[in-house]
Structure 1
């Protein structure tokens, strides 16, 4: 059975790519926040708080290998 995703528009928000206003929709998928522009298709994903807090600001580490 397919779970229906609830999508909400963000009032007053402007798309960073096409600069259109009121075209961004927000939805949750796999516990990640996604924002998508319905006009140009621009897509952004917000990582989980646990991931953001574990990332150091001045480093660009892709991952840590633990044997």
Structure 2
């Protein structure tokens, strides 16, 4: 999986600059700090609609 670094981004946890890497798997974008390991996820709109209110997305099955 290819990582794309986000120029000028600051990690909300460790405050390090230029350490945030973006990856995308199964239509879910994940931003990870390569310095401290902090992760944030943002599913795309169709994934979010398919998720029930009190459940977390583990993966999306595409036949």
Match among 11, 14, 20 for residue 15 of structure 1: 11
How many residue pairs match? The answer is 51
Q: Secondary structure at the match of 1:20?
A: coil
TM-score by length of 2: 0.73
Match among 48, 54, 58 for residue 62 of structure 1: 54
1:6 positional shift = 1.1
- Distance in 2 (CA, whole Å) between partners of 1:47 and 1:32 is 4
TM-score by length of 1: 0.69
Q: Secondary structure at the match of 2:41?
A: strand
Match among 37, 52, 57 for residue 41 of structure 1: 37
Which has the larger Rg? 1
After superposing on structure 2, the runs of 4+ consecutive aligned residues of structure 1 that deviate more than 6 Å are: none
What is the CA deviation profile of residues 12-61 of structure 1, one whole-angstrom value per residue up to 9, with x for unaligned ones? 0000000000000001112110000000000011022121xx4xxxxxx4
